[in-house]
Amino acid sequence: MQKKHLALAILVTAVWGLNFPITKLGLAAVDPLLLTALRFTLAALPWVFFVQRPAIAIGWLAAYGLIFGVAMWALINLGIEMGVPPGTAALLIQFSAFFTLGWGVLLFRERLSLGQIAGVILAALGLISIIVASPGHAATVGYGLLLVSAFSWSVGNVIIKQSKVREMFAFVVWASLFPPIPLLILTWLAHGTAPFTNLVTHFEWMAVFSLLFQVYAATLFCYWGWNLLLREYPVSKVAPLSLLIPVFGIAGSMLMLGHRIEFSEGVSIGLILTALVVGMVKGRGNFRARMCLKASGTPAPPESHR
């Protein structure tokens, strides 16, 4: 990989990782569902008037937009608001790799290698350890939401694979048209008009910075950069770099939010990172290596919100 492309890859993973604690800053002032709605509104507008719609059926755009925006990033935001540390959220969303492995087995009759099976077992042990050490019921529910969002990311990977879309930047822009209205309705159903009035009466610059970072850095820039790398290099060379996302997420959470990692949590994080490394290295030729992180996030996204 050329030095300029390696630098781009590190920058993209850093932005995606830092997106998690920066999103936490925005959640201090904005409802999580409303924040997600605003993110995808600005990711779509005014860009849909300048970017040609990708040459695929509108159904693929709608399906991906709803999964990516509502079932993935909205749940990430809710999970972080419930007490999941942003760095841990950046780590748990990587479970999409293992869910994508499952899709490969179910839909494409692929077989798991011993390394992949070992990775799944290690990841499960790490996840169980994190949940057992959860500080409360709300955080435990938040961990569950993060796992659902990771599963949703894997479904998004399948949609990208099946739609055979090539214009990924345009795909993200046009798919972003679909999440805002459902998210705005869900915000109103859950909390009435309070989140909307608070947005106006309690205007905060930190929330604006968080929102703009999510839209222009974590969504538009990172999607462009990551998919440029996927176009120039084999996925097996690019995908392992995604392991830097939770590293930057955890470091950013510690620096920006003062998150301290206890010994037991550190062991759990180490188990999951090891599991991801084992699964990534041992499975380069399989379905997951071909698809994983084509729709990165959110932190991708998320390729994933919180």
Does a structural domain hold residue 227? yes
Q: Given this model, what pLDDT does residue 108 score?
A: 63
The rounded percent of the chain whose pLDDT value lies above 70 is: 78
Does a structural domain hold residue 113? yes
Total domains present in the chain: 1
166-201 pLDDT, tens digit per residue, is 888 899 899 999 999 999 999 999 999 999 998 888
Does a structural domain hold residue 257? yes
Q: Left, alpha or beta for 164 (phi > 0: left; psi -120 to 50: alpha)?
A: left
- C-alpha 247/C-alpha 17 separation (Å) is 7
Dihedral, CA of residue 13, residue 15, residue 18 and residue 24, to nearest 10:
-130
Q: Given this model, what pLDDT does residue 75 score?
A: 95
Does a structural domain hold residue 299? no
Does a structural domain hold residue 301? no
The domain of 74 spans 3-291
Q: Given this model, what pLDDT does residue 33 score?
A: 95
Q: What is the identity of the amino acid at 168? A: M
Q: Given this model, what pLDDT does residue 295 score?
A: 40
Q: Given this model, what pLDDT does residue 247 score?
A: 82
Does a structural domain hold residue 296? no
**Peptide bond before 46: cis, by omega within 30 degrees of 0?**
yes
Span 257-278, mean pLDDT? 74
Does a structural domain hold residue 175? yes
Does a structural domain hold residue 215? yes
pTM: 0.80
71-127 pLDDT, tens digit per residue, is 999 999 999 998 888 888 888 887 777 776 677 677 666 676 776 677 777 767 776
228-253 pLDDT, tens digit per residue, is 786 677 655 666 677 778 888 888 88
